[in-house]
């Protein structure tokens, strides 16, 4: 690599998330915090939803990507490389274009086509590599070395964690501003960058942070139990963004002592949450993003089977039934039209019908 | 009627819209103003979209209903009556519940079922009366007289016009705040209450206000040409909220000298706008609301056939090709799941594909 000025971001902490939020102000969308009486009634708590599906690029990944690419651009790099199941690739592509850098993004063969199209539309070179994380990482590393362009990891990266954490920080601050401070904060987990950022954003407060994982894609829950990053062979799920084989080293190091627990949700619960968000909140959220609300609804229902507390973070850490206000980060909204049509007309399976609930 | 204290709202003007906005602050949702680079590129202008689909009750009708019901509650009334194709009924039902009044709402037999369910869920008594405006008005008047509960008209009412106008006022103010003051403001037209409110909100500025009507439901365009409220036999349209037989007397009196013109849109154009809003902006807007964006896109395309200037408001009033920023009120988001599914998967008919446009 010919560059003599490597850009090394500092290790992330709460101050770093605050700096990230400050730097990103005006560079990304200040997304609204939404709520719905019907969702509140279903949850038995006030649920404040940070609509990062309305973010530039369609997901909160834009935050970390802007921060990381901005730092590399300032250090004089001419291009960047990224691999992801989709949204991080779209975000890096857009962030690179905004900073005048080239972007090469490595996506799996089974990526959502809307994400592939969006990355291409943002001017990135799209490389398709197998269906597993290992295949993508190997390809991305090779491209990075050949071209001398740094690789921006989708979650194992301080800027990405701090950037994603700024969404949680804005939600925490907005909840305080409207007089409903958060008791709990729920974030979907893929590689755990977002939930690690949430842990940093909530550091020093009494807010309990939960991750949400699809059943069978529970690397974080297994990692917390084992005390180290533990891979899984991801099971099929409609939440295409939540399928990484293993949580990242750095996100795990942050979350392991800070997170309260993990909620497991199945596809039916994700689909119900998707439809609630669409028909009641009137926003389009991809299944990976809807998983956050699905988790919040399970959490509120206090169904012990679904919620796994981190070892050492027992009920003494605050009883769930006392949560008055729960924050949820709706992480993204990039979804295929065909899936929207299929999920929109699906009946609410195990939730009372909306009309009854609204009555 | 036993009440001795009739509540007579003052005639609406710009100051009344400002008062309405002030009174409604904290009582209704301050909805966000959204935008999308893809929509901007299609329009050839910056398009700022006021997301009133995120309003309480799912439409901007909540504004006028809160104002009107609030005044009647303060005057000591115990109940209210309303008729509408749906959203005004839902809004009056919710506003009545918030003020502790009873509500009776008259809806057509072919109303969107989600609107009927929402009005019932808000505690209103729902009466179904035929399919025409005349049938609904006759039924509503009879109920009003029998019960001694005032009738709140869906558009021919000063509070309703001022309330709906507050959405336009907030959009105008937000556009100024972000440094993109509006050159034009586009509002869908049913009974013309919303566009009349927009005319009041824009009074004293250089903003050109346009109404949007579905082809064959163009009572406002015909009324402007004739110089007096002129009914039409409404043609079929997917925009169920834009089917009144005739614009209201008071809205017409306001709009006739203030509006710049009317844009006519067909169902294909409305469906394209619906899909753009869903897949690009990530919000669910009902066809009647999407008609606003459809009109803005036709306006920007400067396609003369679609845009009818008010007599006397010729090109000297500001050339359309010079509009840099166009505001659109996304009036509501209450739509059947089946229609969402049908429209989501529909191909964009006469707009370039999203991927090409985003490139």
Tens digit of each residue's pLDDT (9 = 90 or more) over A12-69: 899 999 999 999 999 999 999 999 999 999 999 999 999 999 999 999 999 999 999 9
pLDDT of residue A241: 87
| A14-60+157-350 topology per CATH | Rossmann fold (3.40.50)
Radius of gyration of chain A (CA): 19
pLDDT of residue A349: 42
CA B101 centroid distance within chain = 25
pLDDT of residue A322: 82
> Which band of pLDDT confidence, cut at 50, 70 and 90, is reported for residue B8?
low
Q: Examine the pLDDT at A353 and tell me if it is beyond 50.
A: no
Q: Examine the pLDDT at B345 and tell me if it is beyond 60.
A: yes
> Which band of pLDDT confidence, cut at 50, 70 and 90, is reported for residue B7?
low
> Which band of pLDDT confidence, cut at 50, 70 and 90, is reported for residue A359?
very low
Q: H helices of chain B, where?
A: 14-24, 37-43, 61-74, 87-99, 113-121, 133-147, 158-177, 193-202, 219-226, 249-255, 267-276, 287-300, 337-344, 354-358
Q: Which residues of B touch A32 (CB under 8 A)?
A: 32, 54
pLDDT of residue A3: 41
User: What is the average pLDDT value for chain A, to the nearest integer?
Assistant: 90
pLDDT of residue A76: 96
User: Which chain B residue shows the shortest CA-CA distance from A342?
Assistant: B341
pLDDT of residue A1: 35
pLDDT of residue B348: 43
**Cβ within 8 Å, pair B282-A53:** yes
pLDDT of residue A4: 41
**Cβ within 8 Å, pair B337-A344:** yes
pLDDT of residue A185: 98
Distance of alpha carbon B158 from alpha carbon B191, whole angstroms:
13
pLDDT of residue A319: 59
User: Which chain A residue shows the shortest CA-CA distance from B115?
Assistant: A355
Q: Examine the pLDDT at A304 and tell me if it is beyond 60.
A: no
Nearest chain B Cα distance for residue A3, angstroms: 30
| B14-59+157-358 topology per CATH | Rossmann fold (3.40.50)
Q: Which residues of A touch B54 (CB under 8 A)?
A: 32, 34, 281-283
Bridge partners (DSSP) listed for residue B80:
B103
pLDDT of residue A317: 47
**B42 shares contact with chain A (CB less than 8 Å):** no
> Which band of pLDDT confidence, cut at 50, 70 and 90, is reported for residue B351?
very low
- Burial of residue B227 (number of CB atoms within 10 Å: 0-12, 13-18, 19+): exposed
pLDDT of residue A315: 58
Query: Mean pLDDT over residues A259-278, rounded?
Result: 96
Measured from the Cβ of residue A138, the count of other Cβ atoms closer than 10 Å reads: 15
| CA distances in angstroms from A96 to A64, A71, A81, A147, listed in the order given | 12, 11, 10, 16
Measured from the Cβ of residue B34, the count of other Cβ atoms closer than 10 Å reads: 23
* Same topology between domain B14-59+157-358 and domain B61-147: yes
In chain B, where the domains are located: 14-59+157-358, 61-147
pLDDT of residue B353: 38
Tens digit of each residue's pLDDT (9 = 90 or more) over A318-346: 456 689 999 999 999 999 999 999 999 87
- Residue A279: which of B29, B95, B53 has the closest Cα? B53
State the CATH architecture for A61-147: 3-Layer(aba) Sandwich (3.40)
**B344 shares contact with chain A (CB less than 8 Å):** yes
- Residue A325: which of A43, A126, A60 has the closest Cα? A43
**Cβ within 8 Å, pair A278-B32:** no
Q: Which residues of A touch B53 (CB under 8 A)?
A: 282
Tens digit of each residue's pLDDT (9 = 90 or more) over A127-138: 999 988 889 999
Least confident of A185-189, A212-216, A242-246, B328-332: A242-246
**A54 shares contact with chain B (CB less than 8 Å):** yes
Query: Mean pLDDT over residues B87-103, rounded?
Result: 96
Tens digit of each residue's pLDDT (9 = 90 or more) over B307-342: 888 887 765 544 566 899 999 999 999 999 999 999
Tens digit of each residue's pLDDT (9 = 90 or more) over B54-93: 999 999 999 999 999 999 999 999 999 999 988 999 999 9
> Which band of pLDDT confidence, cut at 50, 70 and 90, is reported for residue A352?
very low
pLDDT of residue B244: 79
Tens digit of each residue's pLDDT (9 = 90 or more) over B156-212: 999 999 999 999 999 999 999 999 999 999 999 999 999 999 999 999 999 999 999
User: What is the average pLDDT value for chain B, to the nearest integer?
Assistant: 90
Distance of alpha carbon B80 from alpha carbon B78, whole angstroms:
7
pLDDT of residue A125: 96
- Asked whether the beta carbons of A207 and A183 are under 8 A apart, the reply is yes
pLDDT of residue A179: 96
**B333 shares contact with chain A (CB less than 8 Å):** yes
**B281 shares contact with chain A (CB less than 8 Å):** yes
Q: Examine the pLDDT at A354 and tell me if it is beyond 80.
A: no
**Cβ within 8 Å, pair B342-A341:** yes
pLDDT of residue A314: 63
**B177 shares contact with chain A (CB less than 8 Å):** no
């Amino acid at each position: 690599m010919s560059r003599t000025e490597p850009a090394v971001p500092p290790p992330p902490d709460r101050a770093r998330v605050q700096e990230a939020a400050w730097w990103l102000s005006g560079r990304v969308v200040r997304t609204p915090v939404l709520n719905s009486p019907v969702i509140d009634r279903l949850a038995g708590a006030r649920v404040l939803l940070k609509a990062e599906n309305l973010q530039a690029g369609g997901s909160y990944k834009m935050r970390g990507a802007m921060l990381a690419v901005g730092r590399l651009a300032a250090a004089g790099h001419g291009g960047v490389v990224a691999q992801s199941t989709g949204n991080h690739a779209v975000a890096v592509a857009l962030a690179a274009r905004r900073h005048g850098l080239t972007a090469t993004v490595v996506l799996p063969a089974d990526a959502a086509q809307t994400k592939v199209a969006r990355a291409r539309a943002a001017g990135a070179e799209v490389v398709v590599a197998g269906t597993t994380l290992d295949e993508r990482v190997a390809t991305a590393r090779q491209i990075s070395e050949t071209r001398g362009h740094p690789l921006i990891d989708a979650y194992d990266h301080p800027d990405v964690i701090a950037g994603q954490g700024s969404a949680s920080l804005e939600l925490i601050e907005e909840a305080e501003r409207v007089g409903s401070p958060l008791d709990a904060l729920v974030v979907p987990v893929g590689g755990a960058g977002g939930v690690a950022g949430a842990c940093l954003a909530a550091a020093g407060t009494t807010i309990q942070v939960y991750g949400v994982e699809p059943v069978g894609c529970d690397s974080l829950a297994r990692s917390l139990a084992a005390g180290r990053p533990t891979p899984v062979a991801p099971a099929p799920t409609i939440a295409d963004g939540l399928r990484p084989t293993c949580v990242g080293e750095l996100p795990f190091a942050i979350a392991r002592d800070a997170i309260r627990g993990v909620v497991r949700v199945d596809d039916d619960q994700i689909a119900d949450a998707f439809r609630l968000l669409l028909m009641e909140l009137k926003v389009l959220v991809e299944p990976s993003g809807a998983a956050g609300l699905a988790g919040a609804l399970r959490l509120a229902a206090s169904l012990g089977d679904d919620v796994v507390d981190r070892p050492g973070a027992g009920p003494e850490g605050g009883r769930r039934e006392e949560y008055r206000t729960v924050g949820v980060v709706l992480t993204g909204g990039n979804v295929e039209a065909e899936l929207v049509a299929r999920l929109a007309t699906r009946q609410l399976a195990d939730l009372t019908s909306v009309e009854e609930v609204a009555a």
